[in-house]
Structure 1
Amino acid sequence: MTEASAVPTIEEVLDGSPTNWGKWGPDDEVGSLNYLTEAHALKGVGTIASGKVFTLQRLIGDPNGDPVWPSREPATRTQIMDEATWDGPDAPQFPGGLHYADDKLDAFLQGSTQYDALGHVWYDGKIWNGYDARTTVGGLDKASVQPLAERGVAGRGILLDIARYRGKENLDKGETFTHEDLIACAEAQGTTIEKHDVLIIRTNFLKLFFDQGDAFYDGFVEPGLVYSKELVAWFQEMEIPNLVTDTIANEVTIDPNIGVALPLHCALMRNLGVVFTEICDLEKLAADCAEDGQYTFLYTAAPLKVSRASGSPVNPLVIK
């Protein structure tokens, strides 16, 4: 690990890094999702062979706990109305005698399976497409999750089962991989990553959350992609619209080579407009792909339409 005193700034690390700012006009707020046209949706549909459906959202309010970023708290569901409401004399009365249940959720919008807005991270006072970071004050006036939700995502998805490729039940804390590993993983699966694919990467790392409990957060460093200029250039060349993983941050938490936290959030999301989807449950999908050898499919998703939000829960849908 790089010594703290020697850790460079994000500006230094990403100096000269490519951007897609202005590529889709000065008002763009969906970034690399622009690559996904109607033809790409049909390409995803063309992979459907059996009609099997998989949902990728992790359960909110899991009795075993909800994995979240260390500074966030799990969602809290509160029952507001139930049959006990009608036990007292002041119970509401409806014509015909109707009773009903009602509840509410208090949650971080990025505290479960979720899409990040493109304005979620920044440096040097600018968010995606060069918008001023001051537009985030009090809520995102630019590059919020709402435009992503309005647009939706549909295209060919490809599962890259890195854990299975490496012969592991799950990747270890801080374990890294590169775009070259992704290419090799696809080849080992008998598949090929194609331009404009939605990349879905399985590490099964969150198994450790359920195995270890609170100890999961000791020395918290997730496995994931590690920054390099070559990796960023590959994402740019392949015009990747959406990066989807089963980890909380989609990349190794602290880059082991440069000591910087989450540089790919800046290089890919802030600069290239690659949309990030995190905390997916890929286990049923991965088991099925390993069984039938089909690792490509129709991937669809739409986060909730939340005004000015920096992220939103989502339940992605895969059809094979």
Structure 2
Amino acid sequence: MTEYAFKEAGRELSNWGRWGEEDELGTLNFVTPRTVRQAVESVRTGRRYELSIPVGSTGPQTGWMRRINPVHTMTVTPHDFTAPEGLVISDDFIAMPLQSGTQLDGLTHVGYDGSFYNGVPVDTVAPARGATRNAIDATLPGFAGRGVLLDVAGLDGGEWLEPGRALTAADLERAEEACGTRLRSGDALLVRTGWMRKGLTQGWDGWLDAEPGLAPECASWIHEREVAMVAADNWGVEVQPAGDGLVPLHAILIRDMGMMLGEIWNFEELAAACRTDGTWDFFLTATALRVTGGVGSPVSPVAIR
């Protein structure tokens, strides 16, 4: 059997048992009352920035991994229901893959060699019930704390990085130095590659074929800094094609380290505000839906500067 390099890295960086044999939070354990209190200091203006793309038919999903864009349907309109006092009612529903837009990957989204995070067997995910361990609802109340945006695309001087561009730990440190802010334990790392800007300005055609993103070597840097969560403005956080298996960084971060990943986040408005005043940290909230047995979730993250 081929021994992929990411598996060796995963063994070295494993957090299995670090917070107990029954732990289902993983690196969210780095978020503590102290880190949340400290994160409040990053609120300077009180301005809020919502970081999702629209939930609807105009998203990037084209059938990859059996995903489609969300389907929104009205079930009751004001012409369907009225009351004698003139009251009208509207009602609706939505059908969507839980990971079709701005999303969080849970700890049963990716595993390998028969196991998910903390040694949970892959058989704990089944068609009818979903995940019985490491499900997305086990991550609640989710992330609330300090976020730091590293704008690698802006630092490189372009609107977006080229597909296949692998961001290294040196790139992250260069961006960190440029923004004058150092990530600390319990923070969320947000990485701007500009790939979202490409999709928003040029359309989604071909957007899922490849992407710039983090190289697997970044896992060691993320582990050392005790980052609680990583999110990016591309569709899969890590560079694609990856070269060492399908999603080697997912395998290390999710399966071995126990880290939720945020994908398809929109940093454009936030990045513009950060450039204006040179401040790149903020208070961030990102909470999954309480989906019993879910392996991922839509999310509407909010950064407060």
- What displacement does 1:262 show? 1.0
Task: Pick one of 89, 100, 105 that aligns with 1:116.
Answer: 105
Q: What do residues 115-157 of structure 1 show as CA deviations (whole Å, max 9, x unaligned)? A: 1111111000000110010001120001010011x22211111
Give the structure-1-normalised TM-score: 0.88
Tell me which of 32, 48, 51 is aligned to 1:53. 48
Which residue matches 1:268?
253
In our comparison, the structure showing a higher alpha carbon Rg is 1
What residue is the counterpart of 2:178 in the other structure? 188
- RMSD of aligned residue pairs (Cα, Å): 2.0
CA contact (8 A) 1:11 1:123 kept: no
Aligned counterparts of 2:41 and 2:132: Cα–Cα separation in 1: 37
Q: 2:42 is paired with a residue of what secondary structure? A: coil
Cα displacement string for residues 257-295 of structure 1 (whole angstroms, at most 9, x for unaligned residues): x3x211011111110112111111111100000001110
What 5-or-longer segments of structure 2 have no aligned partner? none
Residue pairs, 1:93-242, within 5 angstroms: 93-138=82-127, 139-148=130-139, 150-213=140-203, 215-217=205-207, 220-228=209-217, 231-242=218-229
* Aligned equivalents of 2:61, 2:213: Cα separation in 1: 16
Cα offset for 1:17? 3.2
The Cα shift of 1:16 comes to: 3.7
Q: How many residues align?
A: 301
User: Structure 1 residues 95-104 or 205-214, which shifts more?
Assistant: 205-214
Native 8 Å contact 1:40 1:154 kept in 2: no
Separation in 2, partners of 1:224, 1:78: 35
- Does structure 1 residue 302 correspond to structure 2 residue 287? yes
Counterpart CA distance in 2 for 1:22 and 1:200 is: 27
**Which residues of structure 1 form unaligned runs of 5+?**
1-5, 86-91
**Residue 284 of structure 1 aligns with which residue?**
269
TM-superposed deviation, 1:312: 0.8
Shift of 1:191: 2.1
The 2-side partners of 1:251 and 1:15 are apart by 15
- Is the Cα contact below 8 Å between 1:174 and 1:223 reproduced in 2? yes
Q: Distance in 1 between matches of 2:267 and 2:84?
A: 46
Deviation at 1:37, TM superposition (A): 0.1
In 1, the alpha carbon distance for the partners of 2:2 and 2:281 equals 39
Change (3 A) 1:278 1:287: same
- Name the SS of the counterpart of 2:12 in structure 1: coil
Identity, in percent, stands at: 33
User: Is the 1:11–1:124 contact (alpha carbons within 8 Å) kept by the matching residues of 2?
Assistant: no
Q: 1:190 to 1:93 in 2, by over 3 A?
A: closer
C-alpha contact (below 8 Å) 2:164/2:239 kept by paired residues: yes
Contact residue 200 and residue 245 of structure 1 kept, 8 A: yes
8 Å CA contact 1:177, 1:224 repeated in 2: yes
**Superposition TM-score, scaled by structure 2 size:** 0.92
Instruction: State the secondary structure of the residue aligned to 2:284.
Output: strand
The equivalent of 2:23 in structure 1 is 28
Indicate conservation of the 8 Å contact 2:51/2:265, yes or no: yes
Partners of 1:227 and 1:236 in 2: how far apart?
12
Task: Measure, in 2, the Cα distance between the counterparts of 1:12 and 1:232.
Answer: 12
> Are the counterparts in 2 of residues 209 and 216 from structure 1 also a CA contact under 8 Å?
no
SS in 1 for 2:145: strand
Aligned residue number for residue 39 of structure 1 = 34
Q: Secondary structure at the match of 1:46?
A: helix
